[in-house]
Amino acid sequence: MLYKFKSKAAGDVIMLGPNGDQVLRLLGREPAPKGIFELEHLPALVATLERAVAEDDAARQDGDGGADEPRGKGDGVTLRQRVWPLVEMLKRAHAAREVITWGA
């Protein structure tokens, strides 16, 4: 499944199913094929994602034990990189007073 986040304020953001599920869970939502982020919730959603990114960055710093520490699957793309387009969309949508919807 693909998630396609849409807003009149920004270009579409597309995420693969597992990544979209992860982001929705971080935002306190159950993964669903369709949904909406209402205007009044956008600043809190940005703050939630920024806090999750900071925690992920700190965990990566703490877990960076060197070459003999095994690297897990998916370590190539950080949470910061994965959610940056959506954070930018949230900020632009809030500034333009537009909602964000998503669908499969």
Top-ranked range on mean pLDDT: pick from 66-70, 86-90, 99-103: 86-90
Task: Label residue 30 by pLDDT band (50, 70, 90).
Answer: very high
Kindly state the helix (H) or strand (E) to which residue 36 belongs, with its residue range: strand 34-37
Predicted pLDDT at 72: 54
What are the residue ranges spanned by the domains of the chain? 2-58+76-103
The distance of Cα 90 from the centroid of its chain, to the nearest Å, equals 10
Q: Structure pTM? A: 0.84
How long, in residues, is the chain? 104
Predicted pLDDT at 67: 47
Predicted pLDDT at 68: 47
Predicted pLDDT at 61: 86
Token pair for 8? 């009149």
